[in-house]
């Protein structure tokens, strides 16, 4: 018993050391990892399976975007643009338990990049096409949890996603497993840094500081490849979404974006309906099918018929930006997961909170402009850092 108690004390001491390090050091660029347009660090050939590209292409064919991927954005143009390392992504359907019922995940943003082109009568060394793919990977815990523990964690996550709650013993086990996985993921995030760079260079939002120097950048790519091989295996993909402007590369004039939704099973994409659920009780407010389209001033056409339908209409009017006047009114809520989760609003509302109205990017590029950092992204990272401080102090 004494040996066991001593081992537990050593483990707790070790975790506390990790906690102190994370509380002091984790910063914005650790959790919101952005690469410059000029980077060719991770091409589609590496971590975006061609089968996924074909599935997205086939889905767009049935929409107003049509054959736009083959015409303007072939598979070879796609590259990794950014990555979000989320320590505890909500599993719940309402904000009330979003920071209690949660699990770590990694999100990758892929975008096609044009090289040495003329666009809008300007020469551009590199420009992002107005479309992107977001791939979401819950952290499985390889190398941290054994097979039986990983299965328990998966069962707990499924229970919480379905809106049920765990009993006391299961909750304790869930949080213990989660703590180990989060600590491993945050350790791996810190190890992506160049140890010779000052910690202050990772403060604030923007491009990773290593990419300012070719030698440092190459070393970063090696570390990043190892990270992706560990945390973003194709079989671990859970969800994938995509959006695109129709053919023409004129966002201000075309003024239309198409959104798609997929779930993933064993690395295979299956189109899923785009849904909006109540932020109050998680009930279904709208199921819109596997694709929707919207503009700078309007949301999905299917939603407008629901506006006059009693409580459902009232909830939608408080969570969806139906009209231009709603953008200013609802941005504080839509940008804040403590008020509305992603599933409580529409895809289009989540993508039109930027100052430039026809910039629908959240963490990617509109042509050759600086990378877009949406209000939702900044607030999420802010809350993640606050959550991590509480998490590690809780350990």
214 in a structural domain: yes
Q: Angle between the 168-190 and 375-394 helix axes, to the nearest 10 degrees?
A: 110
Listed in sequence order, the residues at least 6 apart from 325 whose beta carbon sits closer than 8 Å to its beta carbon are: none
Tell me which residue range forms the domain holding 229.
34-278+288-295+374-388
Say what the pLDDT of residue 43 is: 79
317 in a structural domain: no
Angle subtended at Cα 273 by Cα 272 and Cα 276, rounded to the nearest 5 degrees: 130
> What is 234-278 written as a DSSP string?
GGG--EEEEEEPPTTS-HHHH--EEEEEEEEETTEEEE---EEE-
Q: What is the pTM of this model?
A: 0.93
127 in a structural domain: yes
Confidence of residue 13 (pLDDT cuts 50, 70, 90): very low
273 in a structural domain: yes
329 in a structural domain: no
Three-class DSSP category at 56: helix
Confidence of residue 395 (pLDDT cuts 50, 70, 90): low
* Closest to 135 measured CA to CA, from 66, 80, 77, 87: 80
Q: Would you say 344 and 94 are in contact if contact means Cβ atoms under 8 Å apart?
A: yes
Say what the pLDDT of residue 25 is: 81
261 in a structural domain: yes
93 in a structural domain: yes
237 in a structural domain: yes
Tokens of 184: 């491993």
Asked if the model's pLDDT at residue 97 lies above 80, the reply is yes
Asked if the model's pLDDT at residue 142 lies above 80, the reply is yes
The total of structural domains in the chain comes to 1
């Amino acid at each position: 018993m004494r040996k066991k108690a001593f081992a537990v004390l050593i483990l707790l001491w070790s975790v506390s050391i990790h906690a102190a390090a994370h509380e002091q050091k984790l910063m914005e660029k650790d959790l919101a990892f952005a690469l410059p347009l000029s980077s060719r660090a991770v091409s589609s050939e590496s971590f975006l399976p061609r089968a996924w590209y074909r599935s997205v292409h086939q889905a767009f064919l049935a929409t107003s975007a049509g054959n736009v991927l083959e015409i303007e954005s072939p598979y070879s143009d796609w590259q990794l643009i950014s990555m979000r390392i989320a320590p505890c992504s909500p599993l719940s359907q309402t904000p009330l338990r979003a920071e209690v019922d949660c699990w770590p995940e990694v999100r990758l943003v892929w975008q096609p990049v044009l090289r040495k082109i003329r666009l809008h009568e300007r020469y551009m060394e590199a420009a992002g096409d107005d479309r992107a793919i977001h791939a979401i990977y819950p952290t499985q815990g390889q190398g941290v949890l054994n097979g039986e523990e990983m299965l328990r964690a998966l069962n707990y996550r499924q229970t919480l996603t379905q809106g049920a709650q765990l009993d006391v013993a299961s909750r304790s086990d869930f949080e213990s497993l989660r703590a180990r996985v989060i600590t491993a993921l945050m350790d791996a995030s810190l190890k992506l840094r160049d140890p010779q760079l000052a910690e202050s260079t990772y403060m604030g939002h923007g491009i990773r500081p290593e990419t300012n120097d070719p030698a440092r950048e190459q070393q970063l790519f090696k570390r990043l490849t190892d990270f992706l091989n560990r945390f973003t295996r194709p079989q671990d993909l859970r969800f994938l979404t995509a959006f695109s402007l129709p053919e023409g590369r004129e966002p201000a004039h075309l003024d239309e974006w198409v959104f798609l939704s997929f779930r993933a099973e064993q690395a295979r994409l299956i189109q899923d309906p785009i849904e909006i659920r109540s932020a109050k009780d998680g009930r279904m407010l709208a199921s819109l099918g596997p694709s929707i389209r919207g503009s700078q001033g309007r949301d999905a056409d299917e939603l407008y018929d629901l506006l006059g339908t009693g409580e459902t209409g009232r909830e939608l009017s408080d969570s969806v930006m139906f009209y231009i006047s709603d953008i200013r009114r609802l941005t504080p809520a839509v940008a804040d997961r403590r008020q509305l989760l992603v599933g409580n609003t529409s895809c289009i509302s989540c993508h039109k909170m930027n100052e430039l109205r026809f910039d629908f990017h959240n963490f990617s590029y509109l042509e050759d402009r600086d990378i877009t950092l949406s209000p939702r992204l900044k607030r999420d990272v802010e809350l993640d850092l606050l959550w991590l401080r509480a998490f590690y102090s809780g350990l």
